[in-house]
Amino acid sequence: MYNYFLPDEYVKDIFQIKPEVLKEKGIKGIITDLDNTLVEWDRPEATPAIIDWMKSMKEAGIQVTIVSNNNEMRVKTFCDPIGTPFICDARKPMRKSFKKALTAMGIRKEEAVVIGDQLMTDILGGNRKGLHTILVVPVANSDGFFTKFNRMMERRIMAGLKRKGLIKWEE
């Protein structure tokens, strides 16, 4: 059961994910979370650094689709100015939104990665769909109301992963 919560990779932040490395692995698309993965959960717009990161992916021929459990207004406000496709109200960890993103990008699951800051939604959902998952450290120390419960559960899951010797990184 713990394996569903175990990411394939763990990085400090989104900027450690480089387009040239993804290309070498045959990756053609990124399914990424928004809140506390790309920007703080209460920041409405993309930062210049995020815009540059997305541009570098696009220039490398890697598509990016944001898949968020947040509402349309929140996600649209972030995505429209930077021209990034999105799926809102995704109901992660359900597999449907991941499948929808793959279909929209026209790629197979072997050609995609899922990036997110939560084990309970992003990593669990990506792993259930058989996608390569990358966990990032949340960009903010605070969370929205519903995420606080997930964080409490994640601490318990992480403790279990550590006890079983499945975590191979430092916190």
Q: How many structural domains compose the chain? A: 1
Residue 49's domain comprises 2-163
ω before 44 within 30° of 0 (cis)? no
Is residue 168 one of the residues assigned to a domain?
no
- Is the residue at 14 inside a domain? yes
90: left (phi over 0), alpha (psi -120 to 50) or beta: alpha
Is residue 170 in a domain?
no
Q: What is residue 150's predicted lDDT score, i.e. its pLDDT? A: 73
Report pLDDT digits (tens) over 18-49. 999 999 999 999 999 999 999 998 889 999 99
Token pair in block for residue 145: 């109301």
Whole-number Cα distances in Å, 99 to 22, 65, 89, 105, 128: 20, 12, 14, 10, 11
CA of residue 13 relative to chain centroid, distance: 11
Please state the pTM of the whole predicted model: 0.89
Question: How high does pLDDT run on average in the chain?
Answer: 91
Is residue 171, in this structure, part of any structural domain at all? no
Residue 127 lies in a domain: yes
- C-alpha torsion 61→116→129→156, nearest 10: 160
Mean pLDDT on 48-63: 97
16 inside domain? yes
Please report whether residue 169 resides in a domain: no
Question: Per-residue pLDDT tens for 142-164?
Answer: 666 666 777 777 878 877 777 88
DSSP assignment, residue 8?
A: S
What secondary structure letter does DSSP report for 165?
A: T
Q: How far is CA 104 from the centre of its chain?
A: 17
Question: Could you tell me the CATH number of the domain that includes residue 45?
Answer: 3.40.50.1000
